[in-house]
Structure 1
Amino acid sequence: MRRTSVPVLSLALGAALTLSACGGGGDPLDAGSRSGSQDAGTSSEAAAGTGDGEVIVGSANFPENVLLAEIYAAALDDAGVEVTKRLNIGSREAYMAGLEDGSINLIPEYTGGLATFLNPEIDVTSSEEVLADAQANLPEGLQLLDISAAEDKDSLVVTGETADELGLTSIADLKGKEGDLVLGGPPEFETRPNGVDGLKEVYGLEFGEFRSLAAGSNLTVQALKNGQVDAANIFTTDPAIQENGFVVLEDPESLFAAQNVVPLISSDVVNPAVEEALNAVSAALTTENLTAMMVEVVSEGQDPAQVARAFVDGI
């Protein structure tokens, strides 16, 4: 199945996106800026690149990725690795620029999203094939460590009422009905191959309107609940799906590829201690325990660093 090709944004644009995506807290990729708490064993000194044995852990700007970054940081700290955290950087376009220029050198990634970003023409969907495609197209100097069983996929979600009213169980069921509907999702969903363009290419869907919403934020949930959007792109581990009785529409054409959580890291900071610590995290992560941790962070308002510490202590 051939997907619509969307040009990958340049690294220069990615760097610019970083500034806008982080809100008023400054640029997390700037050596003088800090995001997130600094745990015991975390470097408090700013650095443009890596120091001797230092690993700079970044995250995208949504709660689950911040949680995963905290888990990586805690595991590395336990392994005696010097860690700096630069969290809430922004979208993939932004943090890939940081990996390229060395201002960060580790980030939690998702195999399907990364593979599609690197190769918009990707036409495989299984975990093994998606991983292989991503590895084949990685920029020089970057590598993937062990993937986890934990998977958080993009999905198209509607309320239970909308599903009943329109007879929806799969994305394909939207055909012929979507022209009167508003689709919500993060800004990049409008241009990514598995977003608005992919829905048109794969399912023949053209929504009446696209409304830009923050990735992984409560704003998306509220917009769906309040009827400001009729369908929304929500990650499958988001506890709001179950809490609100939302319906995840099936994806029979596999528009959304496998999305296993995996560490993406600069090769020059990989050593046995780093690799062992991060691979142990991947071995322990499952979709179930990741979803449970997201309930603690999103629904219960717990500190991601504390939730991460409890998880790492249990490995």
Structure 2
Amino acid sequence: MRFSKKGRVAASLIAVGAVVALAGCTQSDPTAPETDGDTNAMSDTIVVGSFAFPESEILGEIYAQALEAAGFDVDTQFNIGPRQQTIPALQDGSINLIPEYNGNLLAYYDTEFEERTTEDVDAALVDAVAADDLVVYDSAAAEDKDAYVVTSEFAEANDLTEIGDLAGVQPFVLGANPQFGELGYGIPGLASVYGVTDVEFVPIEDFGGPDTVKQLVDDTVQVADIYTTSPALVAEDLVVLEDPENLIAAQNIIPLASTAIDSEELAAVLNEISAALTTDDLIALRDRVEGDEQASAATAATDWLTENGLL
């Protein structure tokens, strides 16, 4: 049986209540994938999950709709929660596919990982996730990760294109989440990797959100940690400084699936999505869903897939 778009959207409305069910789901759970009589044999339905934030739901919709169009039976369980819940859900079959972030996923398995580039992180992930009977496919060029961001005016006035160029504008004020003062890619890494040491650090609690953006635009801080898919980058004409030394590890979008559903046909659909998806696409998709338009994740996904010839 094919699941209609209406059915998938309805399933995606399960939020906080679904978290508990997914964390300890058994085959008696009505939200669990069906079996064919053998409690260890899953049905052919692919259940796409997502983390509990809009970008992940949009990506989940993109995966689900593309797979459905390719002839797969698809259901969704969105807004699950953090990896402490999504990984067990993948293992027990509550879901069997989710859009992930390669760097953070590798950190889940190895908190001291040293890989920085997309290629190295992806390669390390293959063995890391295999231990949990999981598989990753091709990662996208699209990344959602921390970034050192300045206003276009500040960049032009000081000829800034890379993080290392900040050495020429010391001292300056940097605003970021409180943990940034101790993180390896934060203040310590800024000094050890790029030699930028004369920095006044201002903790801001909203993790690159509106308050951080406001303080940057108002010149309260001259540099801020803002995620690379934030719609504010376009709305406020902000500049992401390049990171040639890979201070900040790759955070590419990557499909993570259970080996139980692994197939060449599945990989082909997901790899085609990854080949088309860019960071600019994620910014635009988030803006449609989180901005004034307030489009649904399903609508934004449908439009993106159609525009890219994938639907």
* Fold agreement, TM-score > 0.5: yes
Q: How far 1:234 sits from its partner (Å)? A: 2.2
Query: Corresponding residue for 2:120?
Result: 129
8 Å contact kept, 1:112–1:256: no
Of 155-164 and 71-80, deviating more is 155-164
Aligned length: 279
CA 1:281–1:296 in 2, change beyond 3 Å: closer, same or farther? same
* Cα distance per residue 1:89-114 (max 9 Å; x no partner): 24x56544544555443221232333
8 Å contact kept, 1:183–1:232: yes
Q: How far 1:166 sits from its partner (Å)? A: 6.9
Distance in 2 between residues matched to 1:184 and 1:49, nearest whole Å: 45
CA 1:26–1:287 in 2, change beyond 3 Å: closer, same or farther? closer
Distance in 1 between residues matched to 2:109 and 2:257, nearest whole Å: 15
- Secondary structure at the aligned position of 1:30 is classed as helix
- Secondary structure at the aligned position of 1:237 is classed as coil
Distance in 1 between residues matched to 2:100 and 2:122, nearest whole Å: 11
8 Å contact kept, 2:141–2:278: yes
Query: Corresponding residue for 1:257?
Result: 249
CA 1:251–1:148 in 2, change beyond 3 Å: closer, same or farther? closer
* Cα distance per residue 1:47-93 (max 9 Å; x no partner): 28985223332223443322111111212333332312222624x56
Distance in 2 between residues matched to 1:192 and 1:134, nearest whole Å: 22
Distance in 2 between residues matched to 1:77 and 1:84, nearest whole Å: 11
* Cα distance per residue 1:154-197 (max 9 Å; x no partner): 31112345546777543334459778634224x77676543455
* Cα distance per residue 1:227-257 (max 9 Å; x no partner): 6655333232333212212121222321123
- Secondary structure at the aligned position of 1:83 is classed as strand
CA 1:182–1:193 in 2, change beyond 3 Å: closer, same or farther? closer
Matched, 1:112 2:112: no
Matched, 1:303 2:296: yes
Matched, 1:46 2:31: yes
Matched, 1:56 2:41: no
Superposition CA RMSD, Å:
3.8
Distance in 2 between residues matched to 1:284 and 1:87, nearest whole Å: 24
Distance in 2 between residues matched to 1:312 and 1:32, nearest whole Å: 28
Q: How far 1:303 sits from its partner (Å)? A: 1.6
8 Å contact kept, 2:175–2:212: no
Distance in 2 between residues matched to 1:267 and 1:223, nearest whole Å: 46
8 Å contact kept, 1:149–1:282: yes
One-letter amino acid of the structure 1 residue matched with residue 51 of structure 2: A
* Match of residue 243, structure 1, among 235, 240, 243: 235
Correspondence 1:81-100 to 2 at 5 A: 81-87=73-79, 89-90=81-82, 92=83, 95-96=86-87, 98-100=89-91
Correspondence 1:1-315 to 2 at 5 A: 26=16, 28-31=18-21, 45-47=30-32, 52-78=43-69, 79-87=71-79, 89-90=81-82, 92=83, 95-96=86-87, 98-100=89-91, 102-138=93-129, 139-163=131-155, 168-174=160-166, 181-185=173-177, 193-195=184-186, 198-199=189-190, 201-203=192-194, 205=197, 207-214=200-207, 217-218=209-210, 220-226=212-218, 230-299=222-291, 300-313=293-306, 314-315=309-310
Of 289-298 and 137-146, deviating more is 289-298
Distance in 2 between residues matched to 1:279 and 1:239, nearest whole Å: 25
- Note the residue ranges of structure 1 that are not aligned, 5 or more in a row: 1-24, 34-43
CA 1:277–1:198 in 2, change beyond 3 Å: closer, same or farther? same
Distance in 1 between residues matched to 2:137 and 2:192, nearest whole Å: 32
Distance in 1 between residues matched to 2:295 and 2:170, nearest whole Å: 38
Q: How far 1:308 sits from its partner (Å)? A: 0.5
Distance in 1 between residues matched to 2:185 and 2:237, nearest whole Å: 25
- Note the residue ranges of structure 2 that are not aligned, 5 or more in a row: 1-14, 24-28, 36-41
* Cα distance per residue 1:186-224 (max 9 Å; x no partner): x77676543455445534656533323256x54543454
CA 1:48–1:80 in 2, change beyond 3 Å: closer, same or farther? closer
